[in-house]
Structure formats: C-alpha cells, structure tokens
A and B are shown apart, each in its own frame.
Chain A
Amino acid sequence: MPFQFNPPDGFKNKTAFPTTPASEDEFRAQMWAPFEQVRDYINQHLPTLDTPSMGLYRNAIINGNFDVWQRGTSFSNPMSGTYTADRWINLYDGTGQQHTISRQSFIPGQTDVPNNPSYFVRVSVTSAASGQTFNVLHQRIESVRTFAGKTVTISFWAKADAARTLAAKFFQNFGSGGSSVVGISGESFNLTTNWQKFSCTVTIPSISGKVIGPGDNLGVEFFFPVGETFVIDIAQVQLNEGNVALPYQPRSFAEELALCQRYFEKSYDINTAPGSTNINGMIQFNSGVPTINPIYIPVQFKVAKRIAPTVTLYDGAGAPGMVYKGGNGKTASLSRVGVSGFVGGTADSTNSSDLVFHYTADAEL
C-alpha cells in the first residue's frame, strides 16, 4: 500500500482552523495525532523494511511471471520430467493422464492481477490418471544453500475452473551423493474461479552437518489435485526472504531471459520452438572449399551455463542429432562442450564446404 498521510482536521483544513483546545491535554492530543499516524504506518510496515529490496533474496524464483517459454508455449501430454515454461518442470506419476501445460495471455488492462502481467501458466488435466500420488509444477533453485536457516514467504496469484486446492511445498535436495532430501511442508490453498493472491511463510532448515553434492537445489513446487480433472492458472510467483509477501516486482524481459539462459538457451528465435523448421538464427559456416573431412565450428553461448550442458544440434528440417552438410541432414558431432560454448559439426564424408545447424543447450537441474 502506498504511503498516505492524512493529518487530522484543523492542521491543513483552514475551515476548521484554528481550533482552540479545550485543555492542555486536548492540545497535546491534537499535536501528537499526525505523529501517531506516521508511527503506526512505520510499525505496520516494519517487516517490509527488514526484507531485501533486490537480488536473489527479493525473488529467488526465475520466470515467476511466466514471460519466458523458450521450449514452446503449449505442451500436450508432456512426459514427467519435461521442462515447460523456462525453469518450470512438470513431474507426475500414475498412468493415463491427459494434460496440457500452456502459456495464456492476460487481457490488456485487466485489473484482477496487478502490475499488468502478460502471461500466466495454465495446467489443464482433461483425463485423470489412475494410481497417481503426485502431479506438480516444480522449480529447482540452484544451490541448497539458498535461504538455508531463513524464513521465506512464497506468494502467487491463482484461480481454477471450480473450487480446487493447490498446495505449495519445498524440498532441500542435497545433490548427487549428498544428504537425503528434506521436505518442508508449505500450505494448502483454496482456489476459486476468481484470481486471488495467496501466500505462506515457512522456515527453511539449516544445512549444518549436511553433505552437498553436484546438482543441489532448493525445490519449490505447486502440488496439484491428484487423480482428478481440473484447470488451474498461476501467475506472479515469488519467493522472498522474510515473513511477509513483498509486492511482486517483475523483471524486464531481457533480465528474465538472461537468468533463464543460464539453464537453457537456443539458437532459434525466442518465439520459435526447438525442432521447428525455421532458418532464423541458424549457425552457418562455409569454408569455401568442399571437403570430405569433418567440418566443425565453435559456438559461444549467450550466457555461461550452470554446468557443461546437454547440447542438441538440429538440421534445417528440425531433426535432432543432425546438421546440414551440403544441404542434407547428416549425423551431428559435438566436442569441447563446456559452460561457455561447444564445437559442433559433423564427421560425415559428404564432399561439401557448408555446415548449418540450430542448437539447444540444457544445463537444467
């Protein structure tokens, strides 16, 4: 809430000023009234002043505004373990579930959710799974040290096609060879058909005495209803330090994209899904001299990766594991894959001078 100071009548409103105090006590009360208002305002907002104003602890969630969808904007029946919106992975069990995870647009100028967000994520289960115990949208925040021993508050906006429950949970994952996963209960929320803001505060345990291995992370997840159909929409997810939900603070698209690209990037245009037939952004090289020998070219990543990523090359037809040499798809070869780039091409013996491919680089947790 923005600061509003309303001095008592008489201090500014000349129609009631001057007022002759009936007593010294009344005079003191009149003089103190505005100071008490200021005091009350500060006291009510003290937790806000204690919390960080920027950086990781202001919002540790990346792509909480669901602005970045490098892998595509709609996923029909994705396998469990599929990344959908950038940084958000869908995990579920059971059999026979039919579901879609998609980017949805807010109507410009709507006021249900503040700050004029562009998008929200919709999880729609049209056929329920049998034997299901979990169905979640999960974000793994790099490093289990994140918020360890601190109080955090998660906040988000959500609605559903009917009265539904949605739970928020947390996990400390200590990585490969590390200590056992620690689960942290969050809260279950009652969604309606109208957008509402929800929040809950939890304390993330200390990591004292724990063993940390590669891939450690703090997991944050939305736990959907299991074994039933539903449509649930989520927007503006934030995880900040402290015991109050700070006002959602969107980042610029450029900032958010760069944060996402530490974990995934592609040569395709931002709105083109990997595997599409689209030449924009392709890596292209022509040596000028046809050769039957391998052709390789170095590629530098836009953003240094979390770890050496899993790189996939695509030819002009969008076939994974292939590149174009001489205008035809040939088996791709990769070497020197590191956090800053890779060398890609083909060992195919077609006598040609040109090499063309798209790539994706995935360093997700």
Chain B
Amino acid sequence: MYCHYIRLNGSGIIVHGFSDAFEAPQPGDILIVEDGPRHFHEAFPDPLQNERGQFRFRWADGQIVERTQQELDAEWAQRPPAPPTLEERVKATEDLLLNILLGGG
C-alpha cells in the first residue's frame, strides 16, 4: 500500500500531490492518506489544477479546501500584461511617424 502527500507553496496553496510509488516526500510535504492505492488520483480524484492551470485547492486548518472562483479570478487578473504583438508594434510606430509628419505633438 502507498502513502499520498501534498506540497504547499508559501501561500498555503496545494501545488503538488503525489504517491510515494512515484517520488519520495520532502521535508514539509503533508501526508494525507496512508495505506492508499498506487496512484494519487485514485486517493484524491479531483484535478489539482483548473483549465487555466491554476491550483484549485488550499490547505486550511488541516483540511483541503477548494479555492473560490473569485480568488482564482483575482489571481488570474494579476498576471503581467501581454507584450505587444508585432502588428501592434508596427501600428504604434506608424502612428508615431504619422504624428511627427503631420507636425503633431
């Protein structure tokens, strides 16, 4: 039988779940199931990540708690803005040149 562990980041979010059939636990990993099946998802079927690749669960008061959609959306909104595409950069350059040629500011 196998043991199953979770790993947290500094914010208490579960960023990894695994069975000791596949890797050895590190200091700080939390044991959640003893004498379990071989595969982690057999012991904990819910995917740890959503479609956006965000981690869905946090560890709170010794329990696995699902993060709210609000929390996930707020985290998503904090992503850095996308750098301009090549087309956007050409357009910006054209606008700037046009502005200069027309004697604008």
Residues of A whose CB lies within 8 Å of any CB of B are 79, 81, 176, 214-215, 289-294, 307-310, 312, 320-321, 333-335, 337, 345-347, 349, 351, 362-365
Contact = CB atoms under 8 A, between A and B. Distances in A.
A362 B19 CA distance: 12
A76 to B, nearest CB: 15
Main secondary structure on A side of the interface with B: loop
Contacts of A337: 41, 47
Interface in B5-41: 16, 19-24, 36-41
Interface of B: 2, 16, 19-24, 36-42, 47, 49-54, 79-83, 85
Most buried by A among B39, B41, B49: B39
Given A215-B37, A310-B19, A334 B82 contact: no
B16 A321 contact: yes
Given A176-B42, A215-B38, A346 B53 contact: yes
Given A79-B24, A292-B80, A365 B38 contact: yes
Nearest to A311: B41
Contacts of A309: 39
A110 B42 CA distance: 46
Given A79-B24, A292-B83, A312-B22, A347 B53 contact: yes
Nearest to B50: A335
A158 B83 CA distance: 64
A176 B37 contact: yes
Q: Which 7 A-B pairs have the closest CB atoms?
A: A347-B53, A333-B53, A292-B82, A294-B53, A310-B39, A176-B37, A351-B83
A364 B80 contact: no
Given A81-B21, A310-B39, A292 B51 contact: no
A291 to B, nearest CB: 7
Contacts of A308: 39, 41
